[in-house]
Amino acid sequence: MKKENNPQLMEKIISLCKRRGFVFPGSEIYGGLANSFDYGPLGVELKNNIKNLWWKRFVQQRDDMVGIDAALIMNPKVWEASGHLENFSDPLVECQICHERFRCDDPFSEETTKEMAKHIFKKHPDRIGRGTEYKWEEHYAKPKQFNLMLKTFLGPVENNDSIVYFRPEIAQSMFVDFKNVLDTTRRKLPFGIASQGKAFRNEITPGNFIFRTREFNLMELEYFISENEWEKWFEYWKEEMKNWLKELGVNLKHVHEIEIPEGERAHYSKRTIDFEYDYPFGRKELYGLAYRNDFDLKRHFKEPPYEDAESGEKFYPHVIEPTFGLDRSILVSLLEAYHEEEGRIVLKLPVKLAPYKVAVFPLLKNKPELVEKAREVYGALRKQFTVAFDDRGNIGKRYYSQDEIGTPFCITVDFDTLKNDDVTVRDRDTMKQERIKIKDLQTYINGKLI
Ligand code: GAP
């Protein structure tokens, strides 16, 4: 199915997510809250699978990486030093009539102009002169910079001294903890620190489902290197990010590497590549890769925090930062997996990502011996995999229901099972069925998880 410029696909994904319990609108019974979302029972499985796969790949299976899990609210001095309080902003334009604000990367771009025109026509039609050409400039203030840091107060007193910020990126905790990690792990360059968790940004215009929200999930790593090797490691991490995308089941034809020119890069970056994806609502950022040079460590540490064991030279390591939005990872894995074929909707998720690896059905609900055997198979497989049990409706409906949530294998217990101790295993993608002995099921499924 065509992914790009296909608004219908987005509607289908949103509807599937709600219908089957992947993603719900946040605070829905109170009318929602500004594009916030909750991951439901299947969504949390998919999300955890992606997080765990990332952690395994980039932390546990490497000699040169360690992880941390830092406090979300940090001393405000961190954000002063990092430059976020001064520089972390987006340009916005404001409607002169109702003061609603819009994000505008380029105020004269077609996208921004369309957005503004839409707003005026919908909300203030009385202000549009009939037959006159629409001039958005008359209704909008000139673009202003708007800081994206989300503020709150820590402790019982609400004054300037108790203002703190929810972190807008995880990166800073890995810089601030650099010396502690170094002292406790005795790592030598090159090595990295990785982390996963929530980040918050007071986005001007959140939107497009889980693509841009004010509370979101990040997976980031800071890879510390010697300055003279930055180009080599930048290339290396670019390839690693593409390999990760392949593991998520993303066709790299839908991904585009965009070199960000100097004036548009974040304040800390000497080189940035955005990985953009062909979303149904247009080509937009998925991940980023930045060469942060020694900007952050220099801001946080008065003395060089690293000493070369051989030469005794003290210096500030440089940093390559691959950053992965988790919610956008979830969105692209769903978009890539969504297929409509032969009268069914099927999520062809990689087996490792599927919320349920297996579903077990008794052929008939009203035959206690079949139900009992199916329960037995279900109980045994559950010790190792996430497994669904379904005895409602007919087998065809149960297949349809499991295809829609991406369950790779459906197992049916029938009358032959009682005689031969084997079951029918049906493959989600090929819809082919084969008989497998119950005792071989774990090995069979494990073989597909590699
Ligand atoms: N530490 C680097 C950094 O924070 P960024 O490009 O500003 O870089 C990192 O953000 C990633 O976080 C993005 O590539 C994107 O995947 C994700 N992201 C950023 N803002 C987001 C938002 N409002 N909602 C969901 N994901 C977001």
DSSP 385-397: S-EEE--SS-HHH
- The arithmetic mean of pLDDT across residues 290-318, rounded, is 97
- Of residues 94 and 127, more confidence is placed in 94
- Ligand 1 atom at minimal distance to the Cα of residue 266: 7
Asked whether residue 131 carries a pLDDT value surpassing 60, the answer given is no
How does pLDDT run across 1-49, given as a tens digit for each residue? 667 778 899 999 999 999 999 999 999 999 999 999 999 999 999 999 9
Q: Residue 147 forms beta bridges with which residues?
A: 89
* Single-letter residue type at 37: F
Of 285, 295, 324, the one to substitute when testing ligand 1's pocket (max ligand atoms within 8 A of C-beta) is 285
- Ligand 1 atom at minimal distance to the Cα of residue 288: 14
- Ligand 1 atom at minimal distance to the Cα of residue 285: 14
- Ligand 1 atom at minimal distance to the Cα of residue 286: 16
Spatial CB neighbours of 286, under 8 Å, sequence gap ≥ 6: 255, 274, 275, 276, 277, 325, 328, 329, 332
Model confidence band, residue 114 (pLDDT cutoffs 50, 70, 90): confident
What pLDDT is recorded for position 12?
97
- Of residues 267 and 409, more confidence is placed in 409
- The arithmetic mean of pLDDT across residues 413-437, rounded, is 98
Model confidence band, residue 150 (pLDDT cutoffs 50, 70, 90): very high
Q: Does any ligand 1 atom lie closer than 6 A to the CB of residue 45?
A: no
- Of residues 278 and 7, more confidence is placed in 278
Order of strands across the sheet that contains 358-362: 387-389, 358-362, 409-413, 422-427, 433-437
Angle between helices 326-337 and 41-55 (to 10 degrees): 110
Q: Does any ligand 1 atom lie closer than 6 A to the CB of residue 329?
A: no
Out of 126-130, 149-153, 161-165, least confident range: 126-130
Q: Does any ligand 1 atom lie closer than 6 A to the CB of residue 103?
A: no
233, 312, 319, 315: which is closest to 270 by C-alpha? 319
395 burial via Cβ count (<10 Å: 0-12, 13-18, 19+): middle
- The arithmetic mean of pLDDT across residues 321-326, rounded, is 98
CA 170 – ligand 1 centroid, Å:
10
- Ligand 1 atom at minimal distance to the Cα of residue 218: 12
Q: Does any ligand 1 atom lie closer than 6 A to the CB of residue 398?
A: no
- Whether the Cβ atoms of residue 65 and residue 194 lie closer than 8 Å to each other: yes
- Percentage above 70 pLDDT, the chain: 96
Asked whether residue 117 carries a pLDDT value surpassing 80, the answer given is no
Q: How far apart are CA 440 and CA 33, in angstroms?
A: 49
Asked whether residue 421 carries a pLDDT value surpassing 90, the answer given is yes
* Single-letter residue type at 397: K
- Whether the Cβ atoms of residue 28 and residue 164 lie closer than 8 Å to each other: no
310 burial via Cβ count (<10 Å: 0-12, 13-18, 19+): exposed
As a whole number, the mean pLDDT across the chain is: 93
Q: How far apart are CA 345 and CA 348, in angstroms?
A: 10
Other residues' Cβ atoms within 10 Å of the Cβ of residue 228 = 8
Q: How far apart are CA 426 and CA 183, in angstroms?
A: 53
- Whether the Cβ atoms of residue 345 and residue 374 lie closer than 8 Å to each other: no
Q: How far apart are CA 355 and CA 42, in angstroms?
A: 6
Dump the DSSP string for 161-216: GGEEEE-S-SHHHHHHTHHHHHHHH---SSEEEEEEEEEE---SS-BTTTTB-SEE
Residue nearest to atom 18 of ligand 1 (CA): 325
- Whether the Cβ atoms of residue 357 and residue 386 lie closer than 8 Å to each other: yes
Q: Residue 276 forms beta bridges with which residues?
A: 256, 285
Residue nearest to atom 5 of ligand 1 (CA): 288
- The arithmetic mean of pLDDT across residues 371-377, rounded, is 98
CA 375 – ligand 1 centroid, Å:
44
Task: Find where tokens 């304040």 sit.
Answer: 267
Residue nearest to atom 3 of ligand 1 (CA): 169
- The arithmetic mean of pLDDT across residues 171-194, rounded, is 97
- Whether the Cβ atoms of residue 406 and residue 354 lie closer than 8 Å to each other: yes
CA 312 – ligand 1 centroid, Å:
37
- Ligand 1 atom at minimal distance to the Cα of residue 274: 14
What pLDDT is recorded for position 364?
96
φ, ψ for residue 49, nearest 5 deg: -65, -40
- Whether the Cβ atoms of residue 275 and residue 286 lie closer than 8 Å to each other: yes
- The arithmetic mean of pLDDT across residues 404-419, rounded, is 98
Predicted TM-score (pTM) above 0.85: yes
- The arithmetic mean of pLDDT across residues 273-295, rounded, is 97
Q: Does any ligand 1 atom lie closer than 6 A to the CB of residue 220?
A: yes
CA 325 – ligand 1 centroid, Å:
6
Residue 109 DSSP SS3: coil
What pLDDT is recorded for position 103?
78
Q: Does any ligand 1 atom lie closer than 6 A to the CB of residue 285?
A: yes
Q: Does any ligand 1 atom lie closer than 6 A to the CB of residue 84?
A: no
φ, ψ for residue 53, nearest 5 deg: -65, -40
Model confidence band, residue 106 (pLDDT cutoffs 50, 70, 90): low
What pLDDT is recorded for position 47?
98
Q: Does any ligand 1 atom lie closer than 6 A to the CB of residue 240?
A: no
Asked whether residue 121 carries a pLDDT value surpassing 90, the answer given is no
- Whether the Cβ atoms of residue 22 and residue 43 lie closer than 8 Å to each other: yes
Q: Does any ligand 1 atom lie closer than 6 A to the CB of residue 173?
A: no
- Whether the Cβ atoms of residue 115 and residue 163 lie closer than 8 Å to each other: no
- Whether the Cβ atoms of residue 333 and residue 248 lie closer than 8 Å to each other: yes
Q: Which two tokens stand for residue 211?
A: 């693509």
Asked whether residue 108 carries a pLDDT value surpassing 90, the answer given is no
Residue nearest to atom 16 of ligand 1 (CA): 325
Run of H or E including 327:
helix 326-337
Q: Does any ligand 1 atom lie closer than 6 A to the CB of residue 323?
A: yes
What pLDDT is recorded for position 328?
98
Of 78, 149, 167, 169, the one to substitute when testing ligand 1's pocket (max ligand atoms within 8 A of C-beta) is 169
- Whether the Cβ atoms of residue 68 and residue 173 lie closer than 8 Å to each other: yes
Q: How far apart are CA 271 and CA 440, in angstroms?
A: 52
What pLDDT is recorded for position 132?
52
Asked whether residue 95 carries a pLDDT value surpassing 90, the answer given is no
What pLDDT is recorded for position 135?
63
